[in-house]
Amino acid sequence: MTFDELKLRRLTEQYLIQPSSKYEVVKNLCGIQAQFFSYSVHAVKIRANDFNEATFADGLVRNWTLRGTMHLLLEEDLPLFKHDAQYRFVRLRDTLEGDEHISAERKKYFADIIIDSIKQGVNEREMIKQRCFALGMTAGEAKSVFDPWGGLTHALCDSGIMSYTAEQAKKYKLVKPYMPMKSDEAQLEIARRYFTHYAPVTLKDAAYFFKKPQAKIKEWLRKLPVEIVNCSNKTYYYIDSGNSYDHDIPACIFLAGFDPLMLGYEKTDSPFLPLERLRGIYTLTGIVLPSILLHGKVIGKWQRKGKKLVCTLFERITAKDKRHITDTAEKLWGAGVNIVFEA
């Protein structure tokens, strides 16, 4: 297999050449990383053939899943990603124990307030926080209850009680009660999706994506119907999806920040991102910036500022290629978008 064939397969399996429904995109890509909600919306928009901003949130939630990060996922997939009943309920019980900021009794008290608030239709994080303050929560207790990286709200999401809504605002929703899948079965199903829709991938890629040792990846591979292919003296694994690869790599794609095409693999081995351009997309603060993929190669980054689209190029390109970028931008955002090229 050549690098161009490898690129073509990955672009195809990730719906960047042959779009599918929002449902299939979010499901088969194992959710979409969503620290920045607008990035996750764009990642779906460039892959879904039924994208509709007005109904985008239908059937979707946000929750902590793979790699301990916030993801956009199907609500019906919560039993898959929040797998293992022991994990769910132990996590909630442990978090309701006292810590340096708050007692166990007070945690239980504020957990009930949060749940009751959502039931009454008060679901915005800040409004619930102010209600808790009005009912006696101290600033010190708030550090535990509303810690953005953990605390009580995280525990309520992990426990299967609530999730964040699929929208820009920080809002919660109670989820339908569910029984989580068994851990081994759930992990194998997530791996099956990965080796189908991110493939072909190396062991190193999979270990990077799952944050698991390669020994665990090999254990999954023994249970999955994977096939093997070689490219540049490296071994790649994939599950046959039935797709064909008799099309061309698109002239231009505006990839999202934290796009699955960037996050799904060991970043230093990406066939799309030249190693010397790595820091142009992966910042030292852990942000993965929106990138411009031109003929299968990242040649710049982009940023929307109202109707202004700033395209920062890493290298000189032809007038024809600038036209490819402009045409793609207008298809995405309309003819009124103001495109500015910077070096």
pLDDT tens-digit series, residues 242-295:
999 999 999 999 999 999 999 999 999 999 999 999 999 999 999 999 999 999
Query: What ranges do the domains of the chain cover?
Result: 85-174, 252-342
Neighbour count for residue 103 (Cβ, 10 Å)? 14
For residue 133, what is the DSSP state? H
pLDDT tens-digit series, residues 46-96:
999 999 999 999 999 999 999 989 999 999 999 999 987 555 555 555 566
Tokens of 260: 């699955």
Place of tokens 């340096």: 100
Encode 251-268: b = buried (16+ Cβ within 10 Å), e = exposed: bbbbbbbbbbbbbbbebe
Mean pLDDT over residues 215-230, rounded?
Answer: 97
How far, rounded to the nearest angstrom, does the alpha carbon of residue 160 sit from its chain's CA centroid?
Answer: 19
SS3 265: coil
pTM of the model: 0.94
Peptide bond into 200 cis (omega under 30): yes
Instruction: Output the average pLDDT for the chain.
Output: 93
What is the DSSP annotation of 181-216?
PPHHHHHHHHHHHHHHHT-SB-HHHHHHHHT--HHH
pLDDT tens-digit series, residues 180-190:
999 999 999 99
pLDDT at 160 over 90: no
